[in-house]
Structure 1
Amino acid sequence: MAAIYSSAALKTRQREIKDIARKNVVHITENGNAAFVFMSEDLFEERLREAAEEAALSERMRACIRASDDCFDRGDYIEGTDAFLKTLDERMAAHG
């Protein structure tokens, strides 16, 4: 469950909020509305790293899909499991 505190709690429950923010995102509200998020520097860097890795993976997947579309358009594809396995065996044998 998400940790949610009012902005006033930053004054009265500072230690508790900091302890939670070391491992999780803390949501801070003002007048009952979402206003801010609070987290440790380490957690922030971890989340940024995860987001960057996810973005890089998504881009690699898009590139693979574009390349496969190009191959298909050129007629560069294999139809059927047996044909695929045979071609795979041939390619593996040719490349050691």
Structure 2
Amino acid sequence: MPPIYPSTALKNQQREIKQLADTQIVYITENGRGKYVFMSENVLQKQIDSAVENALYEARMAEALRESREDFAQGRFYSSRADLLAAVERKRAQHD
């Protein structure tokens, strides 16, 4: 469960909130509702890096799916595992 503090805690519990913010996102509420997030620059950079990595992964997966649909439409597919393994062996032999 992520740490959640009322905005008044920023005054009364600064040290505790800063320590938590060094390793994770701390949520700050006002009038019982989510209002702010507090984190160190390192945590922010990790969040950004993770978002970029996830976006790149999604883009690669979408491209792979598009290519596989195109391959299938063009008749480039294998009907059995044996056919696939034979094609892999042929391709390896071409590179040797």
Deviation track 1:6-55 (CA, whole Å, cap 9, x = no partner) reads 00000111111000000011010001111111110010001100110110
Match of 1:15 in 2: 15
Partner AA of 2:88 in structure 1: L
How far 1:95 moved relative to its partner?
1.2
**Contiguous gaps of at least 5 residues in structure 1:** none
Note the residue ranges of structure 2 that are not aligned, 5 or more in a row. Answer: none
Give the Cα–Cα distance (whole angstroms) in 1 for the partners of residues 33 and 53 of structure 2: 32
What is the number of equivalent residue pairs in this alignment? 96
Q: Residue type matched to 1:41 in 2?
A: E
TM-score normalised by structure 2 residue count: 0.97
Q: Structure 1 vs Structure 2: percent identity of aligned residues?
A: 38
1:4 equivalent in structure 2: 4
4+ residue segments displaced more than 2 Å: none
TM-score when scaled to structure 1?
0.97
